[in-house]
Amino acid sequence: MQPHRELVLVQGCDASILLDESPAGDVPEKESSANGFTLVGLRTIDIAKSTVEGMCPGKVSCADILAFAARDAAVAAGLPRYEVAAGRRDGMRSNMDDLPGNFPVPGHHVPRLTELFSQRGLSQEDLVLLSGAHSIGGAHCFMFSNRIYNFSQDADVDPTLDPEYAKWLRQMCPPRQPGDDPEQAPKVKFDAQTGERLDVAYYSELLARRGLLTSDNALIEDPQTRAMVENFARNEPLWQQKFSQAMQKVGMLDVLIGEGKGQVRKQCRLVNGQEKEEKQQQPQEEQEEQQPPELEEEEQQQPHQPQLPWFLQRQRPPVLLPWLRPHPRPRRPFRKHPVADLVNGFFRGFH
């Protein structure tokens, strides 16, 4: 859900996060340090796009695929199904320079987060609702190491953390050494209780002072957002309903609709007309034409081949007796393609 839920705050729901580097050399959003190797699932989008493009060429945009994929991922994680509108078109530019100042980061507090969301027409309640997506997934150690090592001059560990939780985090994430590769750092779940399910346990963890990121913990430090956290923690049906509505709202941010606005990309990684040629041209080795040596007249004469009897000239297929004939192979049960449910979701959205 990350590409759909968070990155629409940059340019809107136009799938710009999927674009590779442009021929002009613009470094795309996906290469920003704000995303880096934490952005996953793009290969799944490529497979889905290729599958749908084979069925309905030029009809389903990458932006729509992201919206449906986010919905299906949420449903697979336990959220009730909700409707998603279709008809978006894809953006034609992506530049990582657009991210600074427009993108929430783990160290932000409520005032800054609220400001970023309000710039996109989202409320503070939307902020708290969408933060609930941290009920699944996790974060690498470097994203919160400042809370468990050298926090301040007075405390090595953030005092707002539950002491036992902080002790466990330090065991999971040893102090970073010079030369350590952040990509190889361990990953810790946001929600230690039900980390594979999208539910309100995330809010209960916050109230127990077990919020992983600074931006998570900030929600219980602010009086207004804390009241929302407490409300959602004890009312899961309410949160599910409002979370679905917030996701629908995110999916409609600055969408491109109608001819002349954006395009429907053939490949989600490339703007139309910039498709990479995958076929490699291999040089053909020049071969010298060699003339066969002239044969003498005696060698040119072929020896006489005696004609076989008629009953040996016909090649009949072998006849198998009934008890030797192979039985027909049983039909194997149909196995769904990994993105079959995702593709079905696209078409459900058009009906």
What whole-number distance in Å separates Cα of residue 154 and Cα of residue 227?
Answer: 30
What is the residue-wise DSSP string for 37-82? GG---HHHHHHHHHHHHHHSTTTS-HHHHHHHHHHHHHHHTTPPP-
- The DSSP H or E segment spanning 88 is none
134 is in an annotated binding site: yes
Contact 269, 49 (CB under 8 A): no
- Asked if residues 140 and 197 have their Cβ atoms less than 8 Å apart, the reply is no
What does the chain come to in residues? 351
Buried b (16+ CB within 10 A) or exposed e, 109-142: ebeebbebbeebebebbbbbbbbbbbbbbbbbbe
191 is in an annotated binding site: yes
User: What are 167's two structure tokens?
Assistant: 């002790």
Which two structure tokens, joined as six digits, stand for 143?
């994203």
Q: Tell me how far CA of residue 254 lies from CA of 80, 88, 326, in angstroms.
A: 26, 10, 63
- For 88, residues 6+ apart whose C-beta sits below 8 A from its C-beta are 13, 14, 15, 61, 63, 64, 67, 255, 256, 257
Please check if 64 is assigned to a binding site.
no
**Which structure tokens are listed for 31?**
């290469």
Residue 10, marked binder: yes
Whether 104 has a binding-site annotation, put simply, is: yes
Residue 29, marked binder: yes
Q: Is 16 annotated as a binding residue?
A: yes
Tokens of 164: 């036992």
Binding residues for heme b are 134
Binding residues for substrate are 104
Binding residues for Ca(2+) are 10, 12, 14, 16, 29, 191, 194, 199
Binding residues are 10, 12, 14, 16, 29, 104, 134, 191, 194, 199
